[in-house]
Structure 1
Amino acid sequence: MTSSPSSPTMIGRDTDLAWLSDLLLGVRAGTPATAIIGGEAGIGKSRLVREFTAGLGPDVRLILGQCVDLGEVAAPYAPIKGALRALVAQVGADRVLEAVGPGRAALIALLPELATSGGATAGEIVITPGGAGSGQLHEAVAVLLETLSRDEPIVLVIEDLHWVDAATLGLLRFLLRSLGSSRVLLLLTYRSDDVTRGHPLRGFLTEVERDRWVERRELGRLSHDEVRDLVRTLLADDALSEQALDTVFARSDGVPFFVEELVGIDGCRDEGFVPDTLRDLLLARYERLPDAAQAFLRLLSTGGVRVPHALLAAVDGGDEGALDAAARESVRYGVIEIDGDDYAFRHALVREAILADLLPGERARFHARYAEAYEAQAAAGGRRLAAEISYHWLGAHDPVRAFPATIQAMREARAAVAYASAAQLGERALELWQSVPDPEQVSGMGKLELMGRTASYLRHAGEGERSLAMVKAALAECPPDDEQYPRLLRDKALYLAGVGRPGSIAILEEALAALPADDSDDLRATILTALAGRLMIEARIDDAVRVAGEAFELAERIDFPRYASVAMNIAAVSRAARGEVDRALVDIERARELAKGEGSALLRYWVNASDLRNLVGDYHEAVRLAEEGLDRARRQGVERSSGVILASNAVDPLFALGEWDRADALIERGLALDPPAPFRVYLQRAKLWALVWRGDAERAAELLRSSRATMTPIMAVEMQTRLGVQRVAVEIGLAVGDVSQAWRDGRGVLHEAQLPLAGYAEPLMWALARVIAAVRADPMRVSEAEAAEILDAEPALRELVDRLAFWPTHAMWAAFVDAELQPTEAAWRAAADAARAETAPGFLLPYAELRLGEALLADGDRVGAREALQAAFDSAVAGGVTAVQTRAARVAMQAAIGLDGATSGDVSRGSAGVAGADDAADAVAELTARERQVLDLIAEGLSNRQIGERLYISGKTASVHVSAILRKLGASSRTEAVFLARVAR
């Protein structure tokens, strides 16, 4: 039996090592990267990592984290804590706290030992209420790594992700998307054969493969020649015969660890003893050890892959000399290694094989001894160990002692803002509830409260449906007269809204009715405020003003400033929605004063104040407020939630100001944070709209198709989201020539049960007016029945526009609606004049000038048309409105009008992604003979019905041919199709 079974030389991984080295070169240059290495057990993942990290230069900082096998519920952030503690040891606590900046409170919540370092105190550990803590911690770790990587590149290794805890997985997901300006290489490994169906890592791996900074590799088995090379490095005398080598290859299947184990067995040299099974192979070294060493290894295997000497000595409780002797024998036989102060199995497979060999009674006794040793460490003021204690008492089949440890572990996970782990531990505690005498006394809470807390943790962990299921289960067990009942109803309403499902308002009203008359003012204030917010979101404006007023009066009376601020905020926004804009602007500033610096209330102020300013056309102030709030959100560590809303609120006024690049940067940053679905929808809507007006409607249509499933539930319960997405969808349909889809996407606003929110509805009215105009110009673009429906909707559209006349920007939008429905020169001049107002978004003026030019061309005024088209082209170029720039250039070229500054690139660029003349020629060549006939008749200006009559086919068949022509040519309109055909010829 060889005492050092590992090969001194790594075989068969040169390409993989070069890949990691290349990634590190990019990181040194400022491009972050993530390498994910998978493979079956024993394939050499850890060996590859060791070889790579051993070659790092002194200018690279290496920090290591190891996932721990604690069953289904691992200790939260275990590998992250290990890595960060190593980082603290390297650079010092003062430097870490300085680097993390405003995130120090969140970092101290994770590593409490930092509370006495660098001037930090326990009193600074303040996590923003409302469940934002995990976001704060994620942001803090990202800031820490990004800041320190400016000094030197960082390689962060996390091994054995198949044992990863839910909290660590969430943090890694965040880091992958947020370290865009860092010099960090994340190196992650996992055992692929352990990632079975349903394993949380499967979804993570699928997600991250789409990230541009992530590369993933599966290590393959060694070839026959590579096994020969590996054997030669293990046997210096090259004594293994070819037959024995063939046996080693066949039995190992080219897995390096198995090759090393087989070669390490003396019998392989003379083909005497070769284990028949994998278990025999893994236990071969163990079974040749003396009984004392085997007993040592059985005890060690119960503790994990690696166990500190001090812990093992406490668990063993016997003679330390005997323990040292057993450990020495185990090292000599190559079963374990010494790593610092730890005993570590040479491979996890060996530990698992030994663990499986334990007798049931032996296993339970060992788990109990570990649990007692961990309890002693925790009592002595050590680190948080409740998760480990819970795990081992469960392994000892002692639920009575496991239950309090599980409750404590849940609290520790919450303190470390590890909501996913806290939720798992809460569910474990609920499973143990019936097995414990007097669980309420032990846990310090009733079962309903535990269910409510667990549901809250699930919600904050992003498990919306599971949180809803948990609170429903709690309500099913809760008598209506129980004090928990209204609180659970409130939570159910909030969780329903969180997953985009209706019904919150009725449940909140039920919660109010269930409140006792006394001693419930605080809870009543929270329910009233939540109800007012839902009424506002669903556009029940008068009810929202009334309920928000009740909430404000109560919050003021009981000195509850946070809720007084939020209630005043909701009342202000609701008043604005019914036309009381001046009062709303005053009241919303009062909401800021009432917040008295309280973080969550201030964030609500910035969200609604910036949105209101944008809707009334005060774009500069809207951007200022949104960016001010976004800065606060980042400092509080809630960029992924409130920060995403504020980013989207900055995006729209930036579009209006023509600052497309700044807006794009905010969108991409926000989406990279992987925000919850409702917040993600806001950014997706903005991105789609920008793509349309910057000339990439086809891509916008593709993204809309892929995003509809996410958007639809949110649209069902939020009118502002519904109106905003409908507007974008209509504009996309118009831009790609699908008028029928455009109408179906937008017509719902004409049938809303409540008066639509004016600031969101009027731009949608304009888009629908464009649909009506398109059908009036060419009724054959849709079915006969749909054409009738669309044209008959004009009076309803105009009536709704008139009902929204109270809104400050109404005159501008009304002018555009009138011009679309009656496209005369005078109407478009009036629209252009309206678009010159300070409250008009910048893209409207070039559009109005373009349409004015088209109207003048229709009247035969070529001089006036050139002037208008030139103005449209120039203002579109200046404002970055690519779609209008392209269309103006095309209209001018089709009319043989020259525009200063226009190039062939302007003409060939288009919303449908049209390229140059060569591409157009190729597309025309694909047209059938019948399609070419139809194209010639389109050029004559014939409608679909007239084309059908000329060719003796139905109008519907002609419409099908027209659609095929537009698709093949990549044209967004009939006029563009004719133009492209002329270019091709």
Structure 2
Amino acid sequence: TGAAGIGKTHLVAQLRTEESRIAWFDGPCDETSAQAYRPFRIWLQQYFRQASIKGVDENTAVFHARFDDLVKAIPDPELADELTRLRSMLAALVDLILPDSLYSRLRPEQRSENFQQAIKVLLKAESLLQPLVLHIEDAHWIDADSRALLENLLLHVSDYPFALVLTARPDGFEPLILLDAPQTTVRMTAFDATAVRQLAAHHLGSTPSDALVSLLLERGQGNPFYTAQLLHYLRENGLVAKGELVRAGGQAALDALLPVDVHNLLVARLGQLDTDVRDVVAQAAVLGHEFELPVLREMVDETALEQSLAAGTSAGIWQPLSTGRYLFNHALLRDAAYTTQFAPHREDLHRKAARAVTAVATPDQPHYATLAHHHDEAGEPRKASANYLKAGDEARENYFIHEAHRYYSRGLELVETGKRRLPLLLGREAVNHWLGNRDEQRSDLLKLIELAAASSDRQLQADVGLRQATFALVTGEYAQAIQHAQRTTSLAVAIGDRALEARAMHRWGRALWQQGKPKAAVPLLKRALRLAEMADDAIEQAQSLYDLSILAYFEDDYETARRHLQQAIPLFEAQDDKRNLIRCINLLGLIDNAEGNYEAALDYYQQTVDLCRAVNWPYGEAHMLAHLGNGCFELGEYGRSRQIHEQALAISRSLGDRESEALSLDTIGMTYQFEGDLRTAKTTFEAALNVHQSLDNPNLRAFVLTHLGIVLTNLELIEQAGMYLYDAMSLRSSTGADRTGIDTEAALAWLDLARGDTAFAAERALEIMQRMEENGPSGVELPLHVYWQCISILRTVNMISEAESALKSAYMLLQTRAQRIQDDALRQRYLTHVPYHQQIVATYQAIIST
């Protein structure tokens, strides 16, 4: 990192000359472009030898040839297959749309994850052929999607020899959060007198005088780029000779000749170019830091263009790239050339640029965003807003949601009439939903409601109604969600749109479910499923089946849950919907875990972790690791459980996923608890509670309070334990969590015993056992731990027959679950390494033997 002109690019250039066996891939960021994955797309254009001077057919043929050569060379068959699967995603990133491809089949939200996966797999494949470095230049201008990709790029790639180098200005750049990779930051500082002297000698070919070095230090401030530009200026104006300053008119005259800052210095240097060259530089600057030759050729006379390009290259203004593009040698040079144009002339240049871009545009490469920018800067709001709409739609279709949001927002700033605002508002509302910008989404919806109410278009009214239902659902306004979904259902029936009716019915069922009315939700979800089947809407079918499986799971109807999942999985597979496929497999694991099929559950959880890593989904990985860690916890593998949860914890913290962070801390606390390290358990539960202060999830908070209360009871911190446990019970009551409340009731009975209230403890224990006998263990977090707490209480108060009855039930449940574990060693561990399992077995056997 370092200031502009401090030498970051030069340092990287020097580094790459020192090791010829390493491949370097360059991805420059651009201040003037809002394009998602901009640095990666520029690199891919070069990697696949795409050129704007070629036609689409030629570029497509070159792409396939380069791609096929790579696939043949990859030594890892699985990696080669995965790269082949993602061919169309890489093609789309260089503006080539392959027909009947993965890209064309995917929904927008699926495209984003596949874009990221395609880039990562390509880098992994290349690194197996030759160690590589990916260089992201000017990372302070990086777009949000590229930043997210970079933070995921180095996860789980320890077997692949590639590195990441970023050059950035420190202002406005937040360091990346990289979990799996060592990182070093080089902070570059200004040159001292010795370094400035060496730089001057290199440029002048002679030893500089002390007076010259002093001037360079004063005016250049130790910045190598500024200093070099000053040296160019001095030499071009005859103000230095043989290392000495030339003061024809004395120091005052010299001071008058020298520009006051680097911007004016660059302007002065550009002003010394020939008129034709200056004109071309000005027109190129309008096109951006990097510009395409075909566009510039439409703006400039061919003869003047070739001569000016050569002159600009000789003067160090720009450099040619290998793909029909040119690049200004420094962003400050382009800025100087652009900002010195008077506003009317700059607008004329942008109009000229818009005409040039229109001339080179094709149906496959319409350049909507570029056209919108030029029309905008040319003061043509009507043309600009029309192209911002098209650019926003194009970006939204690829799930480039930050880019789409910028285009829609700028388009809305430029239009006033409702008719022209409507499509821009529809686009931005959808993007705001994905981004989670709820305040702006609410504002957009209010405007859409007003426009729909003034319209006789019932399709529009139904569309807006569905958006209202969706918004109310995600913001927890379930009664409103139901009202909007009901009204949308009626409209959908009236216009005969079964697909829309299915989606509205689905929202209606979801809202009832979230209201705590799962039984009322089921028929609506089944109706949504039937409508989706009639409308041939596979996406809605799969989502309805998945939701029905979750409802069945929470009702302990595991057979129905499995049946729905078995129907949903092929539908998600056909859509190549990896994330929902992962969710289905995870739910299969949860079902097996609930039934005590721990080995099968662990297999499912491991599948989901592997899939999350394969598709580069760290959020999902954190959740699936947590479930895998929980499965290990159930088997008494506390060390392994803790290790897995610590991996999940690191990912959750890097993503800012506070709820997952709290869940992992809670389980880690329990591993210490059951290993007997109560002090560490206490500290860990307190850390989880601290995280919960920023969350609004009373049910999960009650779990942590319960676990902490038990530990405090065992540490004989009775007053604190009571405070936390009664808080937990209050939360259980407020959320209606009757079954999970049994764990808290048992903890309170344990507390009663610890403080000598044995009669009250026994009364609680008997009531808990009765509820367990009537309702079974489903829904209780740790039913065997609850059994052992109650058994211990009843034995302490000498209620022997009641204790033995509870012990028999506990032993039968434990053995039933243990018998489902096929592996003998794992089954034995389950019985002996979980402390309350071991105590149940030992006590039962002792009673039997006597």
Q: Give the TM-score of the pair, scaled to structure 1.
A: 0.69
Which residue matches 1:253? 221
Determine the C-alpha separation between the residues in 2 that align with 1:507 and 1:678. 28
Residue identity over aligned pairs, in percent, reads: 18
Determine the C-alpha separation between the residues in 1 that align with 2:586 and 2:178. 33
Choose the corresponding residue for 1:133, options 100, 108, 111: 111
CA 1:360 to 1:629, structure 2 compared with 1: closer, same or farther past 3 Å? same
Q: How many residues were matched structurally?
A: 778
Which residue matches 2:404? 422
Which residue matches 1:235? 204
Which residue matches 1:21? none
Q: Deviations over 1:909-948 (max 9, x none)?
A: xxxxxxxxxxxxxxxxxxxxxxxxxxxxxxxxxxxxxxxx
Choose the corresponding residue for 2:352, options 363, 369, 373: 369
Q: Deviations over 1:832-859 (max 9, x none)?
A: 7357334379489632267679999xxx
Contact 1:734 1:771 (C-alpha < 8 Å) held by counterparts: no
Determine the C-alpha separation between the residues in 2 that align with 1:371 and 1:67. 22
Q: Deviations over 1:531-570 (max 9, x none)?
A: 3344445542322334333334444454545544543443
CA 1:294 to 1:724, structure 2 compared with 1: closer, same or farther past 3 Å? same
Which residue matches 2:294? 310
368-377 vs 481-490, greater mean Cα deviation:
481-490
Determine the C-alpha separation between the residues in 1 that align with 2:281 and 2:321. 16
Determine the C-alpha separation between the residues in 2 that align with 1:621 and 1:363. 67
Contact 2:505 2:527 (C-alpha < 8 Å) held by counterparts: yes
CA 1:653 to 1:492, structure 2 compared with 1: closer, same or farther past 3 Å? farther
**3-state SS in 1 of match to 2:415:** helix
CA 1:401 to 1:605, structure 2 compared with 1: closer, same or farther past 3 Å? same
1:848 pairs with 2:817:
no
| Letter of the structure 2 residue corresponding to residue 129 of structure 1 | R
Alignment of 1:138-177 (within 5 A): 138-177=116-155
Contact 1:115 1:122 (C-alpha < 8 Å) held by counterparts: no
Alignment of 1:827-866 (within 5 A): 827=803, 833=811, 836-839=814-817, 842=830, 846-848=834-836
Choose the corresponding residue for 2:14, options 42, 45, 51: 51
Contact 1:103 1:136 (C-alpha < 8 Å) held by counterparts: no
1:270 pairs with 2:246:
yes
**3-state SS in 1 of match to 2:416:** helix
**3-state SS in 1 of match to 2:217:** helix
Q: Deviations over 1:16-42 (max 9, x none)?
A: xxxxxxxxxxxxxxxxxxxxxx22111
Q: Deviations over 1:259-287 (max 9, x none)?
A: 11222213252353432233322223112
Contact 2:373 2:384 (C-alpha < 8 Å) held by counterparts: yes
| Letter of the structure 2 residue corresponding to residue 392 of structure 1 | H
Return the offset for 1:688. Answer: 3.3
Choose the corresponding residue for 2:787, options 784, 806, 815: 815
Determine the C-alpha separation between the residues in 1 that align with 2:711 and 2:42. 50
Q: Deviations over 1:790-847 (max 9, x none)?
A: 9998898778757743739897465234136446496596587357334379489632
Choose the corresponding residue for 1:111, options 91, 99, 102: 91
Determine the C-alpha separation between the residues in 2 that align with 1:807 and 1:799. 14
Determine the C-alpha separation between the residues in 2 that align with 1:348 and 1:645. 43
CA 1:733 to 1:343, structure 2 compared with 1: closer, same or farther past 3 Å? farther
Q: Deviations over 1:428-447 (max 9, x none)?
A: 233333379x64xxxxxxx4
Which residue matches 1:747? 729
| Letter of the structure 2 residue corresponding to residue 361 of structure 1 | P
Alignment of 1:549-588 (within 5 A): 549-586=526-563, 588=565
CA 1:575 to 1:328, structure 2 compared with 1: closer, same or farther past 3 Å? closer
Determine the C-alpha separation between the residues in 2 that align with 1:422 and 1:492. 21
1:777 pairs with 2:754:
yes
Q: Deviations over 1:871-895 (max 9, x none)?
A: xxxxxxxxxxxxxxxxxxxxxxxxx
Choose the corresponding residue for 2:177, options 187, 208, 212: 208
CA 1:587 to 1:67, structure 2 compared with 1: closer, same or farther past 3 Å? closer
Which residue matches 1:523? 500
Which residue matches 1:62? 24
Contact 1:458 1:464 (C-alpha < 8 Å) held by counterparts: yes
225-234 vs 481-490, greater mean Cα deviation:
481-490
Which residue matches 1:244? 212
Gap runs ≥5 in structure 2: 50-62, 248-253, 819-826
Return the offset for 1:46. Answer: 1.1
Return the offset for 1:256. Answer: 0.9
CA 1:607 to 1:513, structure 2 compared with 1: closer, same or farther past 3 Å? farther
Q: Give the TM-score of the pair, scaled to structure 2.
A: 0.79
1:77 pairs with 2:37:
yes
Which residue matches 1:548? 525
Alignment of 1:677-716 (within 5 A): 681-682=659-660, 684-694=662-672, 695=677, 696-697=680-681, 700-701=684-685, 703-705=687-689, 707-709=691-693, 712-713=695-696, 715=697
Return the offset for 1:80. Answer: 0.6
Contact 1:103 1:139 (C-alpha < 8 Å) held by counterparts: no
1:353 pairs with 2:336:
yes
Contact 1:109 1:416 (C-alpha < 8 Å) held by counterparts: no
Q: Deviations over 1:740-766 (max 9, x none)?
A: 56425522454145454x4xx2xx633
Determine the C-alpha separation between the residues in 2 that align with 1:750 and 1:495. 28
| Letter of the structure 2 residue corresponding to residue 613 of structure 1 | D
1:615 pairs with 2:594:
yes
**3-state SS in 2 of match to 1:42:** coil
CA 1:750 to 1:396, structure 2 compared with 1: closer, same or farther past 3 Å? closer
Determine the C-alpha separation between the residues in 1 that align with 2:722 and 2:704. 17
Contact 2:318 2:326 (C-alpha < 8 Å) held by counterparts: yes
CA 1:412 to 1:514, structure 2 compared with 1: closer, same or farther past 3 Å? closer
CA 1:188 to 1:850, structure 2 compared with 1: closer, same or farther past 3 Å? same
Determine the C-alpha separation between the residues in 2 that align with 1:473 and 1:800. 53
Determine the C-alpha separation between the residues in 2 that align with 1:792 and 1:486. 57
**3-state SS in 2 of match to 1:182:** coil
| Letter of the structure 1 residue corresponding to residue 129 of structure 2 | D
**3-state SS in 2 of match to 1:125:** helix
Alignment of 1:887-906 (within 5 A): none
Contact 1:462 1:676 (C-alpha < 8 Å) held by counterparts: no
Contact 2:473 2:481 (C-alpha < 8 Å) held by counterparts: no
Contact 2:375 2:384 (C-alpha < 8 Å) held by counterparts: yes
**3-state SS in 2 of match to 1:513:** helix
Return the offset for 1:44. Answer: 0.9
Determine the C-alpha separation between the residues in 1 that align with 2:315 and 2:566. 74
Alignment of 1:438-517 (within 5 A): 439=420, 447-461=421-435, 463=437, 466-467=440-441, 469-475=443-449, 477-479=451-453, 482-495=458-471, 498=474, 501-515=475-489, 516=491, 517=493
Q: Deviations over 1:83-105 (max 9, x none)?
A: 12333359921255685644656
274-283 vs 75-84, greater mean Cα deviation:
274-283
Determine the C-alpha separation between the residues in 1 that align with 2:736 and 2:607. 33
CA 1:477 to 1:162, structure 2 compared with 1: closer, same or farther past 3 Å? farther
Q: Deviations over 1:611-652 (max 9, x none)?
A: 2222232222333344455666666x4735666555544443
**Which protein, 1 or 2, shows the higher relative CO under an 8 Å CA cutoff with sep ≥ 6?**
1
Return the offset for 1:294. Answer: 1.9
| Letter of the structure 1 residue corresponding to residue 214 of structure 2 | D
Determine the C-alpha separation between the residues in 1 that align with 2:212 and 2:196. 12
Return the offset for 1:389. Answer: 1.9
CA 1:506 to 1:462, structure 2 compared with 1: closer, same or farther past 3 Å? closer
Alignment of 1:747-766 (within 5 A): 747-754=729-736, 756=738, 758=739, 761=740, 765-766=742-743
Alignment of 1:325-364 (within 5 A): 325-340=307-322, 341-364=324-347
Gap runs ≥5 in structure 1: 1-37, 196-200, 440-446, 781-786, 857-863, 868-985
1:291 pairs with 2:287:
no
CA 1:315 to 1:779, structure 2 compared with 1: closer, same or farther past 3 Å? farther
Contact 1:106 1:136 (C-alpha < 8 Å) held by counterparts: yes
**3-state SS in 2 of match to 1:111:** helix
